[in-house]
Amino acid sequence: MPNKLSILGLAGSLRQGSYNRAILRAAKELTPPEAELTIFDLEGLPLFNQDLEQQPTEKVQAYKAALRAADAILIATPEYNYSIPGVLKNALDVASRPYGDNALDGKPAAIMGASPGLLGTARSQYHLRQSCVFLNLHLLNRPEVMVAHAHEKVDAQGRVTDATTREKIAELVQALVVWTRKLQG
C-alpha cells in the first residue's frame, strides 16, 4: 500500500462566500482515501516586495513550507478581468522567490475555477497555465473543470450541490492522484 498522497489546495479568493473556496472544499470531500487534501488559506499573505524577500514573514514561511511538504498542488482560480486575481498571482510570486528558492518547482498540480459567468474561468485558467510554465509546475491537462453559472451550483452554505460539477471535481482529484504517482515513478 503506497503512502497517502498529500495535496495542498489554494483558492485565489479571500471572499467568505467564494465559489472557488466552495469548489476547493468539495475537492477535499471528494478526495479518494489514498490521498488527503489540506486547504491553505491565502488570507494574510503579504504583497510581494522584492526588497523584503530575504526576510519572509511567518505566514510566508508557513506557506512555503506547506507547499514544499505537499506531493501535489490543486489551485481553484476565479477570473478577474479575463485573468487570474491579484491574490493568486501574488501567492505564486511569493512562492517562487527569492530566485532559486521556488517552493513550487517540479510539483505536480491541477487547476479548476468557478465563475457566475458563461465561461467558468476559461480565460483565467489559460493565463494561469502560462505562469505555471515558468514556475515549473507539472500541470495536468485534463479534465478541465470550468464551473460556469456557479451561483446556481453552490448553495447558501457554500456547498457545491450540482451533481455534474461534483463528478467533474472528483474526476480531477482522481486524475491528479494518478498523475502525481506517475511523476513520482
Nearer to ligand FNR (CB atom), residue 22 or residue 110: 22
Is residue 19 involved in binding ligand FNR (CB under 6 A)? yes
Q: Which of these segments, 13-21, 35-43, 45-53, 125-133, binds ligand FNR (CB under 6 A)?
A: 13-21
Is residue 15 involved in binding ligand FNR (CB under 6 A)? yes
Of 7, 8, 9, 18, the one binding ligand FNR by CB under 6 A: 18
The 3 state secondary structure assigned to the chain is CCCCEEEEEEECCCCCCCHHHHHHHHHHHHCCCCEEEEEECCCCCCCCCHHHCCCCCHHHHHHHHHHHHCCEEEEECCCECCECCHHHHHHHHHHHCCCCCCCCCCCEEEEEEECCCCCCCHHHHHHHHHHHHHHCCEECCCCCEEECCHHHCECCCCCECCHHHHHHHHHHHHHHHHHHHHHHC
Is residue 79 involved in binding ligand FNR (CB under 6 A)? yes
Q: Which of these segments, 31-39, 64-72, 112-120, 137-145, binds ligand FNR (CB under 6 A)?
A: 112-120
Is residue 141 involved in binding ligand FNR (CB under 6 A)? no
Is residue 125 involved in binding ligand FNR (CB under 6 A)? no
Q: Which of these segments, 24-32, 77-85, 91-99, 168-176, binds ligand FNR (CB under 6 A)?
A: 77-85
